[in-house]
Amino acid sequence: MPGALPATKWANHHLEWGRETYMMGVINVTPDSFSGDGLIEETLTPGEVVARAVAQAQQFVTEGAMMIDVGGESTRPGFAPITAEMELDRVLPVIKALYAVLPEEVMISIDTYKAEVARQALDAGACIVNDIWALRRDPDMAALVSERAIPLILMSNMRGYQRREIVSDVVRFLAQSIDLALAAGVAWEHILIDPGIGFGTTAEENLTLLRRLGELRVLGRPILLGTSRKSTIGLVLGGLPASERLEGTAATIALGIAQGADIVRVHDVREMMRVVKMSDAVVRGTFHTP
């Protein structure tokens, strides 16, 4: 493994890079998640949706998640964008409820590219912004993150992007977004990066990104990897649906950690936490007998 990066510190939180791989559990407050885990159903009241989200998040924390990523807009291919008002209606009650019940050390992330959604989510208890457009969609996002002095996850998004060679394209995209963040006053140590597996990339490009994930270390920032249940896994394994991509996800996480991933974002925390522990024992030497 390359040398560890300096820690990321803010408020009462502290992320020590290189010592362990952090687990982020996904809470999709949507009716149309690609992974089949969207919490919104026509038969459920808003209160029941919040209760389901809280129960899921508490289970994730029990299973080892230190971060909970809450999103209210589907990002599946061909998704229909929703208004900021609708997104806020979905995520704010969930974030408020999670902030009230989760342990203080657990970090809540808001998965949004809209600055107003991020602003209100941060006021409600979130402490990380996960921007799938890496500051390219809302000009107010960078200033908001700078003002709040919180971590920002910049995800490479190749949708509509002219690609030439996928790894260099992703490195260039992320480098430009890092520059946008720094120009707005976001602290260097608060910037995290995500290669954006499946966001405007082909299956072959996704496999290349996974194979060469370590090349993103040239950017000098911690790497978040989100491969959980992605369509490339289904294709490689003969067309398996999202519900049957557990083993394929496990393989990508183990190999991703070996390539330098610092955070993994998953839907199946219990099983993937076992993969993380085994991978960390081999890659980082973090094996401790009971």
Domain membership flag for residue 129: yes
Respond yes or no: is residue 96 known to be catalytic.
Answer: no
The pLDDT assigned to 45 comes to 82
Helix, strand, or coil (residue 234): helix
Which sign does the torsion angle of CA 232, 238, 244, 246 carry? negative
Name beta bridge partners: 110.
Answer: 70, 129
Alpha helices in 102-162 (DSSP H): 115-124, 141-148
Catalytic residue among 230, 270, 274, 277: 230
Domain membership flag for residue 77: yes
Q: How many CB atoms lie within 10 A of CB 184?
A: 18
The pLDDT assigned to 75 comes to 75
Domain membership flag for residue 232: yes
Pairing of strands 22-28, 263-266: parallel
Q: How many domains does the chain have?
A: 1
DSSP assignment string, 79-112: PPP--HHHHHHHHHHHHHHHHHHS-TTPEEEEE-
> Are 112 and 85 within 8 A, CB to CB?
no
Domain membership flag for residue 4: no
Domain span at residue 43? 20-283
Domain membership flag for residue 90: yes
The pLDDT assigned to 93 comes to 96
Respond yes or no: is residue 137 known to be catalytic.
Answer: no
Domain membership flag for residue 163: yes
Backbone φ, ψ for residue 32 (5° rounding): -140, 40
> Are 157 and 177 within 8 A, CB to CB?
no
Catalytic residue among 90, 148, 221, 265: 265
Tens-binned pLDDT, residue by residue, of the chain (290 aa)? 556 899 999 999 999 999 999 999 999 998 855 444 556 555 678 888 899 999 999 999 999 999 999 999 987 766 678 999 999 999 999 999 999 999 999 999 999 999 999 999 999 999 999 999 999 999 999 999 999 999 999 999 999 999 999 999 999 999 999 999 999 999 999 999 999 999 999 999 999 999 999 999 999 999 999 999 999 999 999 999 999 999 999 999 999 999 999 999 999 999 999 999 999 999 999 876 66
Domain membership flag for residue 29: yes
The pLDDT assigned to 35 comes to 45
Domain membership flag for residue 2: no
CATH of the domain at 252: 3.20.20.20
175: exposed, middle or buried (Cβ count in 10 Å: 0-12, 13-18, 19+): middle
Residues 27, 39: Cα–Cα separation, whole Å: 8
Q: Which two tokens stand for residue 151?
A: 């971590």
The pLDDT assigned to 34 comes to 45
Residues 262, 273: Cα–Cα separation, whole Å: 13
